[in-house]
Structure 1
Amino acid sequence: MKALICPSLGPAENLKVAEVDEPVAGEGEVLVEVAYAGLNFFDTLIIEGKYQVKAAPPFSPGGEFSGRVVGLGPGARGFAVGDRVMGFCPYGAAAERIAIPASRLARVPDGLALDKAAGLSVAYGTSLHALKQRAEMKPGETLLVLGASGGVGLAAVEIGKAMGARVIAGASSDEKLAFARSYGADETINTATDDLRARLKDLAPKGVDVVYDPVGGALTEAALRSLAWKGRLMVIGFASGEIPRPPLNIPLLKGCDIRGVYWGEFTAREPEAHRQNLAELMDWAKSGTLSVHIYAKYAVEDFRNAFEAIAKRQTLGKTLLRFGAD
C-alpha cells in the first residue's frame, strides 16, 4: 500500500511516498481504508523530533483521518465492515490503510462528508475540550482567540460562537481577519500591526474572560495582562516557535488562571467525556453550526506543499492529504 514515510527525523523535504506492507488488525483493532488524513501544526514538529510525542523512524505522520472499515481484528466491537469512521492517533494516519484500536474511532453520521469528518478530531476536539472542560466558558463571556485563522484557531472561533461567547479574533493579516469574521468572529485585531493590549482595552475594557493561545511568544504576556478578574488563559501550543515565560505576579494580582490543554492525554484519561465531545462536534458539523472549513486537499504526492503551507502559517482552516474517494 502507499504511505507517506518519515525515514529519518528532519524537515518535510526528507519525507517520501513509499510502498509499504499493509497493516494487520490486532486484538481489539479495526482496519480502516483511509480517505483523508488531516495535517496539523504538530506534524511539522513530530517529523523533526521536536514534539512531546516522540516517534521512532520510519513512521507516517498524520494524527487524524476518516475512511471506511475494511476489516476487524479479534475482539474488535462496535463497528462493521463498510462503516464510515473518523479517528485519531499520535501519528501514522498518512497511509492508505491503518490498523487502529476501536476505542480511537467514531462512526461518521449520514449527512457528514468524510473530508469534513477528517478535520474534526484534533483541531475541533482540542478546541471544544479547551473551552468546555478546561476554561469552563459560559454564555456571554468574552473569548480572545489568537492565531484565529489556522486549524485550531478557526475551530475555537466557531465553537466559541456555538457556546454563546463574544469572540475577538487575533491574526497576523487583514485577509486572515476577514476570514475569521466570515466564520463568526465579532471583533478582530491584527496582531502584526496593532498593539494587542491597547486594542483589547478598547474592545473589552473590563478584560477578556478566556484567552485561547496556540501561538505563544510575545502575544501570550499581552493577552495574560488583558484578562479580567478570574480570567483563564488556555495554553494550546507555540506556533510562533517561542515558549513564553510570563511573570507570575499577573495571575496573583488578577486572580486569574493559566491552564494547560493536552487533548491527547484527556482522550486517554477521560474517554467518556471525549466521546461526548465528539458526538457534540459531529452534531454541530452535520447541522452546519460548524463549517470545518477545508483550506486544501492535497494529493499525498504533493505533501511538500501541504507541510510548507502549515509551517509558514498560510493555511486558513484544515489541511488534508487525500488517499481515496469520499
Structure 2
Amino acid sequence: MRKVVIPRAGGYDRLTLQTQPDPTPAPEEVVVTSEAIGVNYADCVIRMGLYASAKEYVGWPITPGFEFAGTVSAVGSAVTDLAVGTRVFGVTRFGGYSTHVAVPRHQVFPLPARFDMAQAAGFPTVFLTAYYALFELAHPRPGSTLLVHSAAGGVGGALLQLGRIAGCRTVGVVGSSHKVETARALGAEVVIDKSREDLWGAAEKAAPKGYDVVLDANGVSTLRDSYRHLARPGKLVIYGFHSMLPREGGRPNWVKLAADFLRTPRFDPLSLTNANASVLAFNLSYLFESRGVLEEAMGRLLAWVDEGRITPPPVTRFPLERVAEAHRALESGSTVGKLVLVP
C-alpha cells in the first residue's frame, strides 16, 4: 500500500509518501481499499505537532486522516456481516491517508446510494462533528436561533443543514463573498460576509436578543464576542481554534500562538451561572471508542441522507501525491466544502 507518513512536526515538506505492506485485519476488523480520503483541518494541526490526541494515541511518525471511502478487500475472522467487495465508507482515528485502511467493523458503513466515493469520504467527520455539537451538546429547540461561524466550510455547512432539520433559524458567517451563496444554499437564513461588513454589528441586527447557540471553531479571534452575543439562556459550543494557526507557510508562529493563548478567554463558573450561559467543547477524535454515540449519530445522519434532507458538501479532489497542495489550500481559508484525496 501507499500511505502518507509524517516523521516529525513541521511544514508541507513533512508529508512523505511511502510504500508499506498491506494491513492484515484483526478478528473484528475490516480492510478497505480506499478510493477517496477526506481531508480535515485537524490533519494540518496534526502535521504541525499541535494535536493533543495524536500525541496521546500515536506519536511520531504518524499518518493523518479520519475518514475514507472504498471497497472492502479483507475481513477479520469474527466479521460475518460484511463481504469482500462491499462499497463502504468509514472513520478511523488517524491512519486515513492510505490506499488501505484497517478499522474496527463498527466504524464502517454502507456507501449511501446518493453519494459517490469522494462525497462519502468527505461526509462522516464533518457531519459527526456537527451532529455531536448540535444534538449531543446544544440540544436546540425548534425556533432557536443559531450563529454558525465558517458556514461555507465542511462542519459549518453540515451545521446549517442539521440546524434546518432541527427547525432552527440559522445565521451563517463567511469570510469571503464567493462563499455567500454556498452558505445560503445550505440553509442559512442570513449570511454575514465579514469581508464586507462588520461581523458583530450584522450579528446583532440579525438577532437583537442574542443567539440561543453559537458554534465556533475560530478560537481567540471570535470566542469572547461569541459568548457576549449569547441569548440568556444560551450555549457556546467550541470545537476548534483555527485563527490561532497560520494561513500560509504551514508552520505555527510560536510568538503569535503564545500571545493568542494568553488572550483566549477563561470562563468563570460563577459568571457563567449568573449570566445563565453555558460553554461546551469537545474533540471528535476522542469519541470513536464510544460505539453507541457513533452508531446512533450515523444511523440518524444516513436516514436523513436517504430522505434527501442532507446533501454532501461540495468536494474538491486532489491526487494523493499532491497532499501538500491540499493542506496548503485548506489552511488558506479560501476553500468551500470538503477537500478529498484520490489515490
Question: Do the two structures share a fold, i.e. TM-score over 0.5?
Answer: yes
How far the C-alpha of 1:108 sits from its partner, in A, is 2.1
Which residue does the alignment assign to 2:239?
236
Instruction: Mark the CA change 1:212 to 1:31 in structure 2 (over 3 Å): closer, same or farther.
Output: same
How far the C-alpha of 1:247 sits from its partner, in A, is 5.0
How far the C-alpha of 1:178 sits from its partner, in A, is 2.7
1:3-50 CA distance string (max 9 Å, x none): 222133211222122221111111211111111110100000112210
| Matched residues, number | 322
Please give the residue correspondences for 1:162-201 in structure 2 after superposition, counting only pairs within 5 Å: 162-201=165-204
- Extract unaligned runs of 5+ from structure 2: 245-259
Selected match of 2:163 from 142, 146, 160 = 160
Instruction: Mark the CA change 1:120 to 1:24 in structure 2 (over 3 Å): closer, same or farther.
Output: same
Identity of aligned residues (%): 28
Deviates more, 1:72-81 or 1:121-130: 72-81
In structure 1, how many angstroms separate the alpha carbons of the residues matched to 2:114 and 2:171?
A: 31
Q: What SS class does the counterpart of residue 37 from structure 1 fall into?
A: strand
- Extract unaligned runs of 5+ from structure 1: none
Which residue does the alignment assign to 1:291?
311
> CA RMSD for the aligned pairs?
1.8
Q: What SS class does the counterpart of residue 242 from structure 2 fall into?
A: coil
How far the C-alpha of 1:314 sits from its partner, in A, is 1.8
Which residue does the alignment assign to 2:255?
none
1:69-112 CA distance string (max 9 Å, x none): 11112223432111221111121111111111112212223343
The answer to whether structure 1 residue 315 and structure 2 residue 323 are counterparts is: no
Deviates more, 1:311-320 or 1:51-60: 51-60
Which residue does the alignment assign to 1:83?
86
Which residue does the alignment assign to 2:279?
258
The answer to whether structure 1 residue 306 and structure 2 residue 329 are counterparts is: no
Q: TM-score, length-normalised on structure 1? A: 0.93
Instruction: Mark the CA change 1:103 to 1:116 in structure 2 (over 3 Å): closer, same or farther.
Output: same
The amino acid of 1:319's aligned partner reads L
In structure 2, how many angstroms separate the alpha carbons of the residues matched to 1:313 and 1:131?
A: 23
8 Å CA contact 1:28–1:77 kept in 2: the answer is no
In structure 1, how many angstroms separate the alpha carbons of the residues matched to 2:17 and 2:155?
A: 27
1:233-279 CA distance string (max 9 Å, x none): 1011111114521453753442010011232333423x223212112
8 Å CA contact 1:12–1:44 kept in 2: the answer is no
Which residue does the alignment assign to 1:46?
46
8 Å CA contact 1:31–1:97 kept in 2: the answer is yes
Which residue does the alignment assign to 2:74?
71
